[in-house]
Structure 1
Amino acid sequence: MSEENVREENVTVIGLGQMGAALAAAFLDAGHPTTVWNRTAAKAGPLVARGAAHAAGVAEAVAASELVVVCVLDHAAVHELLAPHAEALRGRVVVNLTTGSPEQARESARWAEGHGIGYLDGGVMTTPPGIGDSANMILYAGGPELLARHRATLAVLGDPVDLGADAGLASLYDAGLLGLMWSVFGGWLHATALTGADGVAARDFTAVATRWLKTVSWFMTGYAEQIDAGEYPGADATIDVQVAAIGHLLHAGEERGVDGRLPRLHLELMRSAVEAGHGGDSYARIIEAFRK
């Protein structure tokens, strides 16, 4: 496919909720002829005004493009919409950006393979306003060769990250990364409440906190090596030391009337490791508590 053809590759977007509409808009902004369809036809209006073609039904939407991007409520809706058009989809590529479980993604991939349909499952790691920004990731799994073929087109949505041939990995990473996000948000909000009790502005504390997170990411990279090796040397900071440190956090929170449930959970996990004889290990050892 020539560079010019890649630039002008036809794309269909099925599902025009906030995310689907943002995906279609990004394709239009990049110059791709874009066909759209949604159960509620009125949602296509703003995109049609920007140059999108409005398909009268799913069959027409599928026929319009080799690359069919689907972003609807759930995987049940995906199958309801696409299953009647399996033969028309043969030889085309479905990019499923609908949120779901790894098991659902693998089931969809098997269905697609059985009908001769290319399939990529995706995880959109941003909210609709972030679509089109290359700083944001879109995770893809299920067909590295398909992603390579359509990378230039899909890159207009965000940075395409290839997770390999297992179609379930985009959903699995998505779930894990969202869990990480909520944990970071929770820790930051607790810390912001703590410092705010002494009059520190959230903006001021956050400026220091985001810098600290760069150091935390350095720790994570080292701990990942320990986890993969199954060995947790406490050369940087042992769990014993961190049990003592978290006591100061709890005391500061109690003095300021800040809810201490989150740090108490961390303390519980640390104490369990110490009681099991692992107080001299690194914090990475705590992964064993989650595995149980």
Structure 2
Amino acid sequence: MALLAAMDLMLLGQLQAVAMMRTVGVPAADTAGEVEAWLAAMLPHGRAVAAIVDGGAYDTGGQSVDFDRRGLASIITASREQGVSAALLEPHERLLAELSAAGHGGDDWPRIIDRLTIPR
């Protein structure tokens, strides 16, 4: 199920990109090719993220929660300005806002996993 969750979120991200690019006349097939190349370049970074999570230290000097919040806010604004819903992006925005409000804005963004884990 975990792999299906990763796939689902990846494909939802692709659809967000397609929706945004369609507003400027770019066919979905063209956007899909660009997304595929981008994801191929980004996927190896998943191991570095995993190492941060496994290490439990979110102070490696990487991209911070607040930096990610600003970037995501720009994507949300661009989506809305293009007439595309930001509904797929808003849950991510909420999790980052919670982390920042809890005093973790300067921490590495993989700390978001703390907001995904539900204590049992």
Task: Spell out the pairing of 1:87-126 with structure 2 (5 A cutoff).
Answer: none
Structure number with greater Rg is 1
2:28 is the counterpart of 1:202: yes
Total equivalences in the alignment: 118
Q: 1:215 to 1:228 in 2, by over 3 A?
A: same
2:3 is aligned to 177
SS at match of 1:258: coil
C-alpha deviation, 1:219, in angstroms? 2.1
1:287 aligned residue: 113
CA distance in 2, matches of 1:199, 1:272: 36
Partners of 1:291 and 1:223 in 2: how far apart? 16
Q: Output one character per residue of 1:190-225: Cα deviation in whole Å (capped at 9) or x when no partner.
A: 111011111112122222211211232122110101
Between Structure 1 and Structure 2, the one with more strand by share is 1
- 2:12 maps to which residue? 186
- Percent identity for Structure 1 against Structure 2: 29
* Aligned residue among 69, 74, 85 for 1:259: 85
Secondary structure of the structure 2 residue equivalent to 1:277: helix
Q: Which moved more, 1:264-273 or 1:210-219?
A: 210-219
Choose from 213, 220, 227 the match for 2:53: 227
Instruction: Quote the Cα distance in structure 1 between the aligned partners of 2:28 and 2:48.
Output: 30
Q: Show the counterpart of 1:49.
A: none
Write out per-residue CA displacement over residues 77-134 of structure 1, whole angstroms, 9 at most, x where no aligned residue: xxxxxxxxxxxxxxxxxxxxxxxxxxxxxxxxxxxxxxxxxxxxxxxxxxxxxxxxxx
Q: Which runs of 5+ in 1 are unaligned?
A: 1-174
Length-normalised TM-score, structure 2: 0.90
C-alpha distance in structure 1 between counterparts of 2:98 and 2:5, whole Å:
22
Q: TM-score, length-normalised on structure 1?
A: 0.39
What is the rounded CA distance, in whole Å, between the counterparts of 2:61 and 2:88 in structure 1?
26
Which aligned segments of 4 or more residues in structure 1 are displaced greater than 3 angstroms?
none
CA contact (8 A) 1:232 1:285 kept: yes
Name the SS of the counterpart of 2:69 in structure 1: helix
Q: 1:234: how far off? A: 4.9
